[in-house]
Amino acid sequence: MEIIKYDRKFSEDVKDLLVELQEYIVSIDNWHLNIMTSQYRKLYFEKTMKECGKNQGVMFLAKENEKIVGMICGHLSVYDKYDRADYKCLKSGIIEELIVSKNARASGVGMALMEKIETYFKELGCEYCHVDVFEPNAIGRKFYAKNGYTERLISLSKRI
């Protein structure tokens, strides 16, 4: 396996990974709020590329036998005057997406991608790395915990 920077020639592979993740998210959403419209593949790819393109953002791909089996993307956090009024605002990285194809899970791909982006953030002077995880995604939460991530901010929801 090789970790490489994003190249346009792999855009369809990235779209496939985004769709695979959304299918999984839809399947574990017991509130049935997550959906995947016919426009998802195109629009979410555009959104992901936009997120990865801001604030020294980057996307890394895991390539195995000329096939993309995983991706991670993120960028530096942005703080404004309101954040600085009540927070130290240390330089930190934000992971927007981490996806490993179901056929490549539990093979070290996710760990390799995490190490790559964390190294990237460290080289930029970051002291922390943040990631959001969908609460029903027990596999994802376990993976991040295994990699040293802890809960810092919890978002609560209620059906009304």
Which amino acid is residue 75, in one-letter code? H
* pTM for the structure as a whole: 0.90
Question: What is d(CA 20, CA 11) in angstroms, rounded to the nearest whole number?
Answer: 14
Let me know: does 104 contact 70? Beta carbons within 8 Å: yes
Alpha-carbon distances of 2 from 7, 29, 47, 101, 110, rounded to whole Å: 14, 33, 25, 15, 12
The whole-number pLDDT of residue 39 equals: 96
Question: What is d(CA 63, CA 66) in angstroms, rounded to the nearest whole number?
Answer: 6
* Of 149 and 86, more confident: 149
pLDDT of residue 79 exceeding 80, the answer is no
pLDDT tens digit sequence for 125-146: 999 999 999 999 999 999 999 9
The whole-number pLDDT of residue 90 equals: 76
Summarize the confidence of residues 50-67 as an average pLDDT. 92
**CATH of the domain spanning 2-146:** 3.40.630.30
The whole-number pLDDT of residue 89 equals: 62
- Tokens at residue 121, please? 């953030």
**Following CA atoms 26, 72, 54, 80 in sequence, which dihedral angle do they give, to the nearest 10 degrees?**
80
pLDDT of residue 159 exceeding 90, the answer is no
Question: What is d(CA 90, CA 96) in angstroms, rounded to the nearest whole number?
Answer: 18
pLDDT of residue 88 exceeding 80, the answer is no
- Residue 90: phi, psi to the nearest 5? -70, 150
pLDDT tens digit sequence for 5-35: 999 999 999 999 999 999 999 999 999 999 9
pLDDT of residue 87 exceeding 70, the answer is no
